Structure 1
Amino acid sequence: MQPFSFVTTAQILCEAGATQRLASLCRERGARRVLIVTDPGIARLGLLDDVLPGFGLAKIGVAIFSEVTADPSQDCVLAAVERARYIGADLIIGFGGGSSMDVAKLVALLAHPTCAQPITELYGVDKAKGQRLPLIQVPTTAGTGSEVTPVAIVTTGETTKMGIVSPLLLPDLAVLDAVCTLGLPPAVTAATGIDAMVHAIESYTSKLKRNPLSGLLAREALRLLAYNLDQAVHNGSNLGARQAMLLGACLAGQAFANAPVAAVHALAYPLGGHFHIPHGLSNALVLPHVLRFNLPEATADYAELALPLLGARLQTADRHGHAEQLVSELAQLSARCGLPSTLREAGVPRESLGQLAKDAMQQQRLLVNNPRTVSEADALAIYEASYA
């Protein structure tokens, strides 16, 4: 067995309704002043309305930073840090999707009284030093797995994103409460769910750091997500399906935090950067075409993943047939869930494909994990297949 290391969030609480106890969870950690980092949609939907009174009862001061945008910018992060410093926050809560949780991670780090690093020194792997404030993450979508990953993605230019990767970004507690996901529209439920499935698949086939633990988590994540996605999308009030999706996304997040994602994400990022297509949908649009490209090198792995995804519906006994059926099944996911199936349907102009391929080549941090080497010509061919 090859040596490996595995890191993850210290504590996970998987319980419907657990956010009602969020204030007491903060009090257990000695908090006196808490900043909740979230987005305008969470505030507008009133998802915090039942949570906030508990802080008064617990005699904990609480403030809300609700200006997190999709694909948060560096300025957004710094504004949240400034708010945390202003109120003297001694614990940070990320409450929302991946963007809110990513910003919360960086606030916990940069707002710590001893932090002297500017954010510009943090981009890359293991650049962060020192300590952070206590951090609790509450995902309101079953997709990113950000509550168990040591990564925060920041938009640094018009079309560019950069990652900050450090074990310091792993929270102290992740609270998986499906009640927080009940109001998600079907399209958001579908896109984030497919995003989580991509995490599981790409982690399972990750070239450099896959290990026995990441593999176990990825397979179980894919099983939970595959068996519950349709119910969560088409019967959104099904709390059991919603809770299973949250757990599946969390397990997939644990897997890819240790065995990183690859070409699907590398090709998805430029779509978000140029056209502001939500990350989960960007992944869904290129997923089947990247898998087909990878088949020559990943047949055995895809065949193994076909069982938790398809179960008794597997139609052939041979490995290649199972892998092909996996790819075909995933190619139908978007349409089945009411999402655009092609780049054309998503509003991407054909003349942009060449630039997208060039930009994808900048994602070498991800591409090195792909089972098959991807050239710029390969990336262009994948975009063209995704466009048709």
Structure 2
Amino acid sequence: MTGIEFYSNGHIISEADSMRKKLGALAQQYRATSAIIVTDAGITQLGYVDIAQQSLQEAGIQVVVFDAVIADPPVDVVNDAMKIARDHNCDLVIGLGGGSSIDTAKIVALLPNDFESVNDILDKDVSGFNKLPLFAIPTTAGTGAESTFVSVITAKDGSKKAIYTPKILPDVAILDATLTLKLPRHITAATALDAMVHCVEAYTSRTKKNPISDALAVKGLQMLWNNFEKVLAQGDDIDARAEMLLGSTLAGIAFVNSSVAAVHGLSYPLSINFHIPHGHANALVMCGVFTFNLSEAAPLYAELAHAVMPTQTSGMVDLDAATLFIDQLKMFLENSGLKYRLSELDITDQDIPALADIVINTYARLIATNPKDMTLDEVTTIYKEIL
């Protein structure tokens, strides 16, 4: 076994209503005096910001809110959030919401360092930077951003840039399932399938697969798999929501320490060029990529199949178990209510060559971690199969 370096949050709380009950006291432990809540307008409208703000203020902490985060946060939005934090002398950063809000908060937490714009640190080594205390409170069970040390920002040229360093790992992750109860069905489905992809790609990583990530990926996938249909059928099932949220966090810890791969490589151009939400984009391409990988990864997919479908896969050879596993993921997608053909999302055959070219030339790092290499023609074929 090769050497392992593994990182995870210092403090994870998984408890219903924990944001209201514990946020202020946790902030006091970090001697915070002024906190910025980084979120989006939808989270404010749901009343969640009010709950967080009250908890902090009751603990004697001043609060400023930045709720202008948008999906795939661009550099300018992140810069605006940093300016507000700087102007209010914030000494605690709280990311509240989905992956975009938490990713934005991660960069805001780098405020003490000498740079004017996020542009100045894209593609740079920030491992020596200082960081403000950072809390992450997810409102979706999917991205795992609360437990990862990567922030994905949209650069001025439209490409996705990742700032990747343990320096931006949240100090505290608060998993409060009550914050996911109001999620619409389509967001619940897309984020859950995103988290399942994280588990699968972590477990099958060609470059950084390791026993710790493997264990977390398997447990996370079991929690997500066993509760996926429950939360779609009954969105107010708090126990199922809590399982999904913790499963997503385990998936995040797993993949950030092992890597994601070609599913993400093929999904990014769909999000950038056609504004398909990240989780939905991953769900669209996952089965095509996993099927392509079968010649190399069938034994690993079979192990996951046995973990989540022990009765159905008992006695099966690896290829059959792996195929059943992929078929069930496809069924999850098709029964979720999400659109699952590219043509349903206004993508045409003429768009595919450009999408494939982006995958090969911009996201080669994600092909390098995939169990099997991909050529331009093979990427094109995967896209065409789901057209």
Relative to the length of structure 1, the TM-score reads 0.97
* Mapping 1:190-269, distance limit 5 Å: 190-269=189-268
- Contact kept in structure 1, 2:79 and 2:117, CA below 8 Å: no
- Contact kept in structure 2, 1:159 and 1:270, CA below 8 Å: no
- Contact kept in structure 2, 1:125 and 1:165, CA below 8 Å: no
Q: For 2:50 and 2:139, how far apart are their aligned partners in 1?
A: 14
Amino acid at match of 1:84: A
3-state DSSP of counterpart to 2:104: helix
Shift of 1:315: 6.3
Corresponding residue of 2:369: 369
Q: For 1:27 and 1:127, how far apart are their aligned partners in 2?
A: 27
Shift of 1:118: 4.4
Q: Do structure 1's residue 52 and structure 2's residue 53 form an aligned pair?
A: yes
State the Cα deviation string for residues 106-131 of structure 1 (Å, max 9, x = none). Answer: 0001x22x434742342237434320
Q: For 1:349 and 1:27, how far apart are their aligned partners in 2?
A: 53
Corresponding residue of 2:147: 148
* Mapping 1:271-310, distance limit 5 Å: 271-310=270-309
Q: For 2:276 and 2:157, how far apart are their aligned partners in 1?
A: 14
- Contact kept in structure 1, 2:223 and 2:247, CA below 8 Å: yes
Corresponding residue of 1:343: 342
Q: For 1:123 and 1:100, how far apart are their aligned partners in 2?
A: 18
- Contact kept in structure 2, 1:115 and 1:131, CA below 8 Å: no
3-state DSSP of counterpart to 1:92: strand
Q: For 1:120 and 1:157, how far apart are their aligned partners in 2?
A: 8
Corresponding residue of 2:384: 384
Shift of 1:237: 0.1
- Contact kept in structure 2, 1:139 and 1:176, CA below 8 Å: yes
Corresponding residue of 2:126: 127
Shift of 1:296: 0.2
- Contact kept in structure 1, 2:306 and 2:314, CA below 8 Å: no
Q: For 1:124 and 1:199, how far apart are their aligned partners in 2?
A: 23
Corresponding residue of 2:79: 78
- Contact kept in structure 2, 1:285 and 1:341, CA below 8 Å: yes
Q: For 1:244 and 1:115, how far apart are their aligned partners in 2?
A: 41
3-state DSSP of counterpart to 1:345: helix
Q: For 1:346 and 1:304, how far apart are their aligned partners in 2?
A: 34
Bigger mean CA deviation after superposition, 43-52 or 190-199: 43-52
Shift of 1:23: 1.4
Shift of 1:330: 1.0
State the Cα deviation string for residues 112-163 of structure 1 (Å, max 9, x = none). Answer: 2x43474234223743432010000000000000111110011114541111
Bigger mean CA deviation after superposition, 78-87 or 52-61: 52-61
Unaligned runs of 5+ in 1: none
Give the length in aligned residue pairs: 385
Change (3 A) 1:28 1:52: same
Change (3 A) 1:379 1:157: farther
State the Cα deviation string for residues 11-57 of structure 1 (Å, max 9, x = none). Answer: 11111110012112111110000000000100111122233222222
* Mapping 1:1-40, distance limit 5 Å: 1-20=1-20, 21-40=22-41
3-state DSSP of counterpart to 1:52: helix
State the Cα deviation string for residues 47-92 of structure 1 (Å, max 9, x = none). Answer: 2223322222211100100000001000000000000001100000
3-state DSSP of counterpart to 2:344: coil
Change (3 A) 1:144 1:285: same
Relative to the length of structure 2, the TM-score reads 0.97
Corresponding residue of 2:104: 103
Change (3 A) 1:4 1:56: closer
Amino acid at match of 1:13: I
Q: For 1:193 and 1:275, how far apart are their aligned partners in 2?
A: 21
Q: For 1:378 and 1:363, how far apart are their aligned partners in 2?
A: 15
* Cα RMSD after superposing both structures: 1.3
Percentage of matched positions with identical amino acids = 40
- Contact kept in structure 1, 2:12 and 2:174, CA below 8 Å: yes
Bigger mean CA deviation after superposition, 83-92 or 313-322: 313-322
